[in-house]
Chains A and B, each alone.
Chain A
Amino acid sequence: AQSVTQPDIHITVSEGASLELRCNYSYGATPYLFWYVQSPGQGLQLLLKYFSGDTLVQGIKGFEAEFKRSQSSFNLRKPSVHWSDAAEYFCAVGATGTASKLTFGTGTRLQVTL
């Protein structure tokens, strides 16, 4: 069975600073990997996903993530954070070939200071 760890419960960054949110997964083969964002009182919105191929994935809102098999990681990055990026971010892993059984991390809450 797969599992996901998001080591950082809460992160605070200044507006304009760079951001990296960590995600480590456990799975025996190449997984499907996802990042979702949740604003307060809202549902989850897909930021980006990785299935295969290029290990650097571009998403919406200027986010990107890099799949590193050797480190079992799929960290989310953004070069310059905006105040509107304040939200909770979830990493999820699915088994090879299907996104129908996702395991979610416990989330990282991002606070942006002005």
Chain B
Amino acid sequence: RKEVEQDPGPFNVPEGATVAFNCTYSNSASQSFFWYRQDCRKEPKLLMSVYSSGNEDGRFTAQLNRASQYISLLIRDSKLSDSATYLCVANTGGFKTIFGAGTRLFVKA
């Protein structure tokens, strides 16, 4: 079983749609969690950290459920520019940072 698992997609949604990505992690010792965004042939960029209390940044909302070892990312009012691969990341302390395989999102006009 992979340490961080994501639905690979692709998710094809129209502009303005709400889309949710899910991620599970297997190591209960994982301490911190993040969502990264990666455009085609570009480097990953930190989108947001994920906290148990939930956090929001504009159209993006991230949630963490430690009991279920589950992380989510919600994107509201999708834009064409949101098309990218979204990587779920868990860190177990120190430098052990595990990336999920990523979920591809295509937003269409």
Are A and B co-members of a single complex? no
Where the two chains meet, the residues of B that have a C-beta atom closer than 8 Å to any C-beta of A are none
